[in-house]
Structure 1
């Protein structure tokens, strides 16, 4: 009677790795929930309305769309030849989006390094993509902030300039320029989210484009401080400091809190939806 080969078992270290990865992801979601729980929701009570709820929902969707654009930009850097399935690349990035809320602010990059290597991407290329991505964050956020400031005086010129840069970068089909284009789109979505929340909370005379520019500068401050998970605390302090006395304190606090809640909700929604697609094939 011929021997029946026993099914090959996965190496124990691989199973352990899957468990560790699952626990890290669960911890990330728990930290996100804890951050939402700790927010001072009473600040938003004076502004409670259906229109304000709609603005927060719209902002969350814009933050999720920004995550998608950033994922496409990262994919252009690490997989320019499109060797790997787009859905697999999206899941790698989505896991990192959730991991960034873990204390230390480095786990989003660690996660991409580990998951990307599992997919077959070289460690050196993954590490290089992080350095490039960080540099593009600085360039793109500052560029979109400048465009927001220019929008006050020359709205048509500012929009056309952004569209030309994005279109030209995408048409050249070079990984670096493609990543730049998607990052500009992402930070444009950030700015739109800030303007949307500002329209619902700030006084009628407030300049929304200027507020959006301040938010991008505050985002950058939160990004460069390594000890703040997801920029929490630093971004809010920077936005309050940058706005100073130009806006009413109560309205500014409400806008700051609403933006934080919307950004966390957008990250959580994007991460869970993207990861959940795996189970549906």
Structure 2
């Protein structure tokens, strides 16, 4: 073969593995990640089962647990919609059902030590669907900033209206203004970060955007994503209230209080490095903040059942995601690749 002939070969024949090989490698890596997540999930599920306080089991309790699982499950379609909206601003038209399937499967990765497995899973599965890894990473960063901003706003409300009434709060409730300012900064940070990266590091921005500069999120997208995040916290806090009032017979509980205090506990679990899915951290904060309001035993029971129902929701989403995974790339996905 002459040098001229070699120069006409496709790039994949000149040392780059073919796309099918890369696809198989990504698929194997994603499978290994998810199998590890499942193993860790089952271990934690068995470990937490023995900490449940006594419950009057019956049809009523079964319905409450079922509703708790469904309530936790609502986070999956909400996250999928957020991701679709953020990708749309980056010029990636990922179908919602494909986004939903990817989020459903990748969420199991959060139970791996390090609390980053679900992010890695989204990158891997998104790449298989034709979404550039850089754009997935950029949208996840925006999503994270907005999650922390909204949870910060919820935490400020908790400090102002509820934590002062508790005997031992975990945070300084006398100065919520600092947290409020931080929440505002987090809400505006995606706009500033994209603009700074585009101006100071255009090469890096084009690498993430596959040849194009990253696009700033649209204001309407920011408002919609913030609303979806707030809705997710409301849904999860409502599950906490349901468990306390119906499963553990604490009907006088304050619905808004449980939403705000759970947001504080969720944020603590999210921020602690290495805590898979906030495991342990979230429950400890729930016990400390909710114990004085609803009793330590009730708070412990709610924390444990909330964790188990969350795991059940993630397992259900994972199973459905695998069941409805595409057999092969769609034409739209092939065009995006």
Give the TM-score band, short-chain normalised: 0.7 to 0.9
1:276 to 1:148, Cα distance in 2 relative to 1, 3 A: farther
Q: TM-score, normalized by length of structure 1?
A: 0.79
2:106 is aligned to: 96
Answering whether residue 94 of structure 2 is matched by residue 84 of structure 1, we say yes
On the 8 A contact 2:34/2:106 being kept in 1, the answer is no
Structure whose alpha-carbon radius of gyration is higher:
2
- Given that 2:92 and 2:131 are in contact with CA atoms closer than 8 Å, whether structure 1 keeps it comes out as no
Structure 2: give runs of 5+ residues left out of the alignment: 1-17, 163-217, 329-337
Segments of 5+ residues of structure 1 without an aligned counterpart are 1-8, 153-171
Confirm or deny: 8 A CA contact 1:151 1:209 kept in the other structure: no
Cα offset for 1:275? 3.0
1:213 alignment counterpart: 260
Q: Name which of structure 1's ranges 51-60 and 227-236 shifts more when overlaid on structure 2.
A: 51-60
Distance 1:125 1:10 in 2: 19
Do 2:33 and 2:121's aligned partners in 1 also have CA atoms closer than 8 Å? no
**2:139 counterpart of 1:117:** no
The answer for the alignment partner of 1:181 in structure 2 is 227
Aligned to 1:130: 140
Q: How far apart in 1 are the matches of 2:316 and 2:63?
A: 16
Q: Give the alignment partner of residue 61 of structure 1, picking from 70, 84, 90.
A: 70
- The Cα RMSD (Å) is 2.8
Q: Is residue 2:292 matched to residue 1:245?
A: yes
Instruction: Give how far 1:52 is off.
Output: 2.3
Where do residues 1-281 of structure 1 align in structure 2 (5 Å cutoff)?
A: 11-41=20-50, 43-80=52-89, 83-144=93-154, 174-200=220-246, 201-278=248-325
1:25-75 deviations in Å (ceiling 9; x for gaps): 222222222211111445232343332222121011011112211111122
Q: Give the 3 Å change call, closer, same or farther, for CA 106–217 of structure 1 in structure 2.
A: same
Following superposition, the deviation at residue 181 of structure 1 comes to: 2.1
Q: CA deviation at 1:13?
A: 4.5
**Cross-structure match for 2:212:** none
Q: Aligned in 2, Cα 1:36/1:184: closer, same or farther, shift over 3 Å?
A: same
Displacement, 1:145?
Answer: 5.9
Q: What is the CA–CA distance in structure 1 between the aligned matches of 2:22 and 2:135, rounded to whole Å?
A: 24
Aligned length: 254
TM-score by length of 2: 0.67
